[in-house]
Amino acid sequence: MALLFNDPLASDAHFLPGDATEPIFASRAILIPTSPFFDRMFRGALARPSSPTKPIELPAWSHDIFVLALVHCYTDWLPGSPLPDSIKPALSKLAVDPADLDVDDWRSMMKFAGMLECPRLASAARSQAVALIDEELKTITLAGSEAKKE
For 20-37, write each residue's pLDDT tens digit. 999 999 999 999 999 999
Mean of the per-residue pLDDT values of the chain? 91
pLDDT for res 3: 72
Alpha-carbon distance 38 to 43, whole Å? 8
Residue of 41, 60, 45 whose CA lies nearest to 117: 41
Distance between CA atoms of 147 and 150, rounded to whole angstroms? 5
Residue 69's nearest CA partner among 22, 20, 124, 19 is: 124
Mean pLDDT of 79-103: 95
What percent of the chain clears pLDDT 70, i.e. is strictly above it?
Answer: 93
Per-residue pLDDT tens for 4-25?
899 999 899 999 999 899 999 9
This prediction has a pTM of 0.88
Confidence of residue 145 (pLDDT cuts 50, 70, 90): low
Band the pLDDT of 59: cuts 50, 70, 90.
very high
Sheet holding 13-17, edge to edge: 24-26, 13-17, 56-58
Distance CA 150, CA 140 (A): 16
Mean pLDDT, rounded, for 108-129:
97
